[in-house]
Amino acid sequence: MADVDPALLKRKRKRRRIIVYGTLIALIWGFWLWQPWEYDFIMRAQPHPHPKVDPDSSSLFAKGTKVLIVTAHPDDSEFYVGGTLAKLRDAGAEIWQVIITEGDKSYYGPFTDAAKNREVRRKEALEAARSWGGKNLVILGYPDGRLKNSERLVQRLQVEFEKFQPDYVLAFDYDYPPRMSHKDHRIAGQAVSIAVEKATSVKWLMRFSTAYPNYVVDISDYWPEKETMLKIHKSQFGGKEDRIVNMVEDRAVTDGEVIGTTYGEGFRVIKLR
């Protein structure tokens, strides 16, 4: 057998390494772009100053107060602020809801039936909203997991603000989201922040799913109801119901600790006018 040129062998190995590692990096990069979550490698610093703020609680939890909640997905309201919504209902507030996407991706697998998901998730959202007394539910119908900020989205939110003339708006925290959160949540929060500037009826913006709450609603009496609400969204559990409920409960306990109650829901509230 003739001797193989060692230089040629070296070049061949080098080329193979480039192909293998290059493919691996491209795959990881592609996955990172495709998946719908965002992760802050450097945690955003706490706002400064960061005092506790009361968004006129006695006006918030009062008969006839108009509250609009804007979420990205059909289950967000119950997961993040289900207890607060139930408490608002009992206080006699009028609550409307806008859901920006249709929740058609479910687990974002390649073989999900989008039409079926849309139908299932609309039903779940309606049932959940009925439980906390939602008066009006609007689904804007943007694609789940692929939300982009656009002028059109802001305008469509403004139309809803105009129709309802809310006193309070509840939305995702865009400026200080948790370290890891869904991209749709961040974009939904950003669009609301822009849309609300022109909505002169809105006195307070209450941002949920926030890394730095400055106001906590005591939901101790509403935890069992919140748990029931979560379970309405059966399509979202994928056999991990207990784990997900525990996760939400942990969050509620952590928020409750801030105000010395068993359970709480934290917000970063901002006075607009």
Dihedral angle, C-alpha 136, 94, 53, 255, nearest 10 °: -70
Distance CA 32, CA 57 (A): 41
Minimum CB separation from Zn ion for residue 72, in Å?
5
Interacting stretch for Zn ion, rule CB under 5 A, among 25-33, 75-83, 216-224, 264-272?
75-83
Q: Where are the alpha helices (DSSP H) in the chain?
A: 6-34, 57-60, 76-91, 114-131, 151-164, 183-195, 223-232, 241-259
- The residue from 65, 68, 73, 236 that contacts Zn ion (CB under 5 A) is 73
Which is closer to Zn ion, CB of 89 or CB of 233?
233
SS3 136: strand
Q: Does 76 bind Zn ion (CB under 5 A)?
A: yes
Q: Does 160 bind Zn ion (CB under 5 A)?
A: no
Which is closer to Zn ion, CB of 73 or CB of 186?
73
Minimum CB separation from Zn ion for residue 165, in Å?
26
Distance CA 169, CA 98 (A): 11
Distance CA 62, CA 5 (A): 85
Minimum CB separation from Zn ion for residue 182, in Å?
5
Looking up tokens 């609680």, which residue turns up? 57
Q: Does 87 bind Zn ion (CB under 5 A)?
A: no
Residue nearest to Zn ion (CB): 73
Q: Which residue from 131, 128, 82 is spatially nearest to 263, judged by alpha carbons?
A: 82
Which is closer to Zn ion, CB of 76 or CB of 167?
76
Which is closer to Zn ion, CB of 76 or CB of 94?
76
Positions in the binding site for Zn ion (CB under 5 A): 72-73, 76
